[in-house]
Structure 1
Amino acid sequence: MKKTALAIAIPLAVVGIAVAGAWYTGSRVEQEVTRGIEQANTLLQADAPDLGMTVALLGMERGLLSSSARYQVIITGDEGEAPTTLVFTDRLEHGPFPPSRLAAGKLAPVMAQSHFALEQNDSSAPLFAAAGGKTPISGELAIHYDQRQDGVFESAALQFAQDGESLRVSPAKVNFSVSGDRKDVRADGRMAEADLVFFDPQSGQPVQVQLRDLDIAGDKRENANGFALGPSSVSLRSLRVKAPGSPEVELRQTVGEEVLTQGEKGLDQTLSYRVGQLLVQGQEVGGLKLDTSLRNLDEGTLQSIKETYSQYGMSSVGDTGELTPEQEAALKGQFLRLLDSSPKLALDELSLQTANGVAKVSVAVDLRKPDQSARTPDEIARSVLASLTANLKVDKAVIGDVVALQAALGGEDAGGIDPVALKQQTDAMTDLFSGMALQSEWAVLDGNSLSSSLAYADDKVKFNGKDMTPQEFVAFAVGSAQGLGLGAGAAAGAEEEPQEESVE
């Protein structure tokens, strides 16, 4: 008898606890929704005031095991235009064990499980039409007891068309998670396809843009000064552009990466871009690489600049956004204070790798606080520049590959390519370019490559191994430009003027 009673009592107790938990959770859900909307409006006002976006709770009906809510998002229109109003419906399953999570095998308790979707109205009707009547925007969100949130945001396949221009995008999905203090944000998303057709404003001809396999990812943590530390990235399998009067260009296996970190002397940021293959009219050019970095950026000064821009953006300086002399002086002073931490700027690498060689350039600049005695722009510039290094190396084979590509593209337009003539032209242009670079002394021979190096520090220059003063280097650069004929046009024009006067 006792065993039977226990067999009945235990399930009833579990159900009773679950129902009590769901009732308690339901009372907290409304509080969390209200708090979340307040936080969203605060963030929008602080970080994106120009959007003119606000969020409001239209209503909420609370039940024992679930609740329903409606939210309104208002986007202020341009001057003379009515605002855009979007309404979202939300079905909130109460925790600790929402049925939809149990059905998906997610057994961890949560406060609530949200299922939201865009509601059709006058503002959203074009989106519903573009989605073929399906819900264009929807998603799910799990609200944890520690106020963490994670979920997924989805958009349906959309197709817009008007007056010969069109945009088609495949379904997209973004997975995200946000910590309870809203400082730790992770996200990753994917969209398989996008096709855009628009008219070139100059020629009036259609331009076609085709995108395949777009992926985004980010893992950011906000520090005490409000800067988002961590990595983010975007990648594309293919980006193809076809414009009137221009050869078709395709970028394959393109990746962009950004990382913001806390360094010893401030914030450090790196930006990297990779193009696995660059193709022009179906002909492969090679791979591209671009790496840049900023180091020793003082957080306090950056925060002051950010606050100043926000302040001026909300002031009534004028519709054109022009600054007063006082505001310009304030901003200039803040930017100059960035030099106190001796920032470093670098083009770490810009390179092109063709089938037979590599061309690569790098530049690094170290800055410092200007000397108090510096008065003229030239004195200030020399005082601010602590050091500069630049290096260039071009394999001769790269010159040949580029010349061959240009000739091949021209040959396709002419209807054919003569391999023997192409080889002769490639060799001749390679020798011509190499000879000019060596004769001008802008480059030196390094095996089968042309290389050039420049270093500046302590008011001294070292160019391709030769020590110079800055004045000597400037004189060399000006003389080389004249020797290459870059100043010939101006000289010829100066000589022609007296002749015209004598004729008159």
Structure 2
Amino acid sequence: KKSLVAVSVIVVLGAAWTGASWYTGKLIEQHMGEVVDNANGQLKAYLPKAGVKLSYENYQRGLFSSKVRYVLRSDGTDTSENAALKTGEEVAFLETIDHGPFPFAQLKKFNLLPSMASVHTELENTPAVKGLFEVTKGKSLFTADSRISYNGDTASAIDIIPLEYQKDKSSLKFSGATLNADVSSDLKNLALDANSDNITVSSPNAFGQTEQITFQGFNLKGNSDESKFGVKLGDQTMTLKQFKLAIDGKDAVTLDGFNLVSKFGEQGSSNIGGQIDYTMDALKVQGNDFGAGKLTLKIDNVDGKALKDFSDSYNRQTMALLQQGENLDPEVYEQQTTEMLQKNLPLLLKGNPSLSIAPLSWKNGKGESTFTLDLALTDPSQAGSP
């Protein structure tokens, strides 16, 4: 009897899992159009001159997994020679979707938490990216594995493969990179962790010399949340073990141990503030030790609502300029951008913000120099006189 009960439980659980997985696949298919529409809305908002649109096709829904093809094509608005995608060209992403509540891709990683789906994404070899696949020797430049929870939050692990490429006198060596990103369903919360060990680029300069630039030990980590003012706040750190510029095989500039730490958050009921710290362990120019530097920058009492208004106004006007594209003279563009900044800058003075540098320091074998600054700003509308 005990064996019969055990078998019955397994059969019932298996049937429930199968039914839930089938139903999850059906839900995903029903929302596919909504996802694509949202993506196209983001493209229009942030890349209005890209001239591309996203669509999906060949959705093949199975019992435990489905397959779909996402495609970027020209939207017909840009027919110039410099268009991102010409008519007939396409960039495609192939996705395999393992249905929840227990996607097989997650079970293989011993992740037993229920989730709506697990998605594996690769770039497809199409004529538009043929040159890239020649560099990668037929492999997708990246693979992404994403876990989608039932509330819509997404956790993605993206791997970019190592590359070695040489053409004429130019070359690229890239060790690859990993990127982990957690994004909330409403896009208000983001956590990011990106790493790459080495990238070296070599090419001739204007004087016929061979320039080689090397980045070693890069890491970017951060998290941001949308504040009550509608602007993103959080903590970020960036580290670079070494940057090196060599000319004809001789070291010209070497920068060791560059670090950036940024922390910004809400202050009281209406303000925003934070601190940025830069440190550099060593700077060498043609083998000479130029020393090390650090900078601590503090910003306090920035009015949160005013910062949101400034950001929205400045971005809106900048996007309007970008939409003019090549029709705008570079000098005119620079002038109008400066005027926009000057026009919107007074918005940031509403909270009577303050700025301090404590300190900017440079130190080498001959001594140390420091610079400090305390600057208090006042809202012009509150000033008693001009």
Report the TM-score when normalising by structure 1.
Answer: 0.67
Q: 1:134 to 1:275 in 2, by over 3 A?
A: same
- Aligned partner of 1:319 in structure 2 is 328
Which range moves more in the overlay, 125-134 or 209-218? 125-134
Aligned to 1:223: 227
Question: Closer, same or farther in 2 for the Cα pair 1:234/1:50, shift >3 Å?
Answer: farther
Aligned to 2:216: 212
1:242-281 mapped onto 2 (5 Å cutoff): 242-243=246-247, 248-264=252-268, 266-281=271-286
Change (3 A) 1:362 1:49: farther
Q: Deviations over 1:391-443 (max 9, x none)?
A: xxxxxxxxxxxxxxxxxxxxxxxxxxxxxxxxxxxxxxxxxxxxxxxxxxxxx
Quick one: structure 1 residues 15 and 116, their matched pair in 2 at CA, closer, same or farther if it must change by over 3 Å?
A: same
Corresponding residue of 1:433: none
Tell me if structure 1 keeps the 8 A contact 2:350–2:378: yes
One-letter amino acid matched to 1:168: K
Residue of structure 1 in register with 2:313 after alignment: 308
Correspondence for 2:94: 89
Residue 456 of structure 1: aligned partner: none
1:322-355 Cα deviation digits (max 9, x unpaired):
48x9998876453223223212223332112324
Cα distance, 1:326–1:120 mapped onto 2, change above 3 Å: closer
Q: How does 1:44-443 map to 2 (within 5 A)?
A: 44-52=43-51, 54-74=53-73, 79-84=80-85, 85-201=90-206, 203-243=207-247, 248-264=252-268, 266-312=271-317, 313-314=319-320, 319-320=328-329, 322=332, 332-355=342-365, 357-370=367-380, 371=383, 373-374=385-386
What's the CA shift for 1:291? 2.1
**How far is 1:138 from its partner?**
1.1
AA partner of residue 114 (structure 1): V
- Is the CA contact (8 Å cut-off) linking 2:359 and 2:372 kept in structure 1? yes
User: CA contact under 8 A between 1:214 and 1:237: conserved in structure 2?
Assistant: yes
**Identical amino acids, percent of aligned pairs:** 24
Q: 1:300 to 1:261 in 2, by over 3 A?
A: same
Task: Give yes or no for contact 1:74–1:83 (8 Å, CA) kept in 2.
Answer: no
SS of residue paired to 2:128: coil
Query: CA separation of 1:336/1:144 partners in 2, compared to 1, >3 Å: closer, same or farther?
Result: same
SS of the aligned residue for 1:147 comes to coil
* Rounded Cα–Cα distance in structure 2 between residues aligned with 1:57 and 1:229: 34
Measured against aligned partners, the alpha-carbon deviations of 1:350-377 in whole angstroms (never above 9, x if no partner) come to 1123246432211221111334642xxx
Q: Secondary structure at the match of 2:6?
A: helix
- CA-CA distance at 1:130 after TM superposition: 1.5
Structure 2 residue identity aligned to 1:351: S
Structure 1 residues without counterparts, runs of 5 or longer: 375-504
1:245 and 1:213, CA in 2 relative to 1: closer, same or farther beyond 3 A?
A: closer
Change (3 A) 1:326 1:256: closer
Q: Deviations over 1:205-252 (max 9, x none)?
A: 221111111111111112244321101122111111124799622111
Q: Residue 477 of structure 1 corresponds to which residue in structure 2? A: none
- Structure-2 residue corresponding to 1:30: 29
Question: 1: distance between equivalents of 2:210 and 2:251?
Answer: 14
Question: Helix, strand or coil: the match of 1:124?
Answer: helix
Query: Any idea what SS the aligned residue of 1:46 has?
Result: helix
Contact 2:314 2:344 in 1 (8 A): no
Q: 1:128 deviation in Å? A: 1.4
1:109 counterpart SS class: coil
The amino acid that maps onto 2:272 is L
Query: CA–CA distance in 2 between the matches of 1:278 and 1:329?
Result: 37
Deviation at 1:147, TM superposition (A): 0.9
Inter-partner Cα distance in structure 2 for 1:245 and 1:23: 61
Cα distance in 1 between the residues matched to 2:22 and 2:57: 22
The root-mean-square deviation of aligned C-alpha atoms, in Å, is: 2.9
CA contact (8 A) 1:127 1:158 kept: no
After superposition, the Cα gap between the structure-2 partners of 1:8 and 1:117, relative to the gap in structure 1 and judged at 3 Å, is same
Answer 1 or 2: which has greater strand percent: 2
Q: For the structure 1 residues 271 and 37, does the alpha-carbon distance in structure 2 shift closer, same or farther, using more than 3 Å as the test? A: farther
**Cα gap change, 1:44 to 1:16, in 2 (>3 Å):** same
2:24 partner SS = helix
Query: Given that residues 314 and 340 in structure 2 are in contact (C-alpha distance below 8 angstroms), is that contact kept between their aligned partners in structure 1?
Result: no
Tell me which amino acid in the other structure corresponds to 2:66: S
Q: How far apart in 1 are the matches of 2:337 and 2:168?
A: 45
Q: Which moved more, 1:50-59 or 1:344-353?
A: 50-59
Q: What's the offset of the Cα at 1:114?
A: 0.5
Task: Read off the aligned partner of 2:245 and give its amino acid letter.
Answer: V
| Whole-angstrom CA distance in 2 between matches of 1:8 and 1:129 | 53
SS in 2 for 1:49: coil
**Contact conserved, 1:249 with 1:281, CA < 8 A, in 2?**
yes
2 CA distance for matches of 1:244 and 1:366? 49
For 2:178 and 2:52, the matched residues in 1 are separated by 23
**Does residue 6 of the first structure (1) align with residue 10 of the second (2)?**
no
Please state whether the residue corresponding to 1:305 is helix, strand or coil: helix
> Letter of the aligned partner of 1:108 in structure 2?
L
Greater Rg over alpha carbons, structure: 1
CA contact (8 A) 1:301 1:334 kept: no
Q: Which has the higher contact order (CA 8 A, sep 6+)?
A: 2
Structure 2 equivalent of residue 478 of structure 1: none
TM-score scaled to structure 2, two decimals? 0.86
Contact 1:350 1:361 in 2 (8 A): yes
* Structure 2: segments with no counterpart, 5+ residues: none
AA at the equivalent of 1:208: Q
Instruction: Compute the displacement of 1:258 (Å).
Output: 2.3
Cα distance between partner residues in 1 of 2:302 and 2:50: 28
CA distance in 1, matches of 2:48, 2:251: 41
Report the Cα offset of residue 268 of structure 1. Answer: 1.8
Bigger Cα displacement from structure 2, 120-129 vs 269-278: 269-278
Q: Alpha carbons of 1:327 and 1:132: their partners in 2 closer, same or farther (altered >3 Å)?
A: closer
- Quick one: which amino acid aligns to residue 346 of structure 1? S
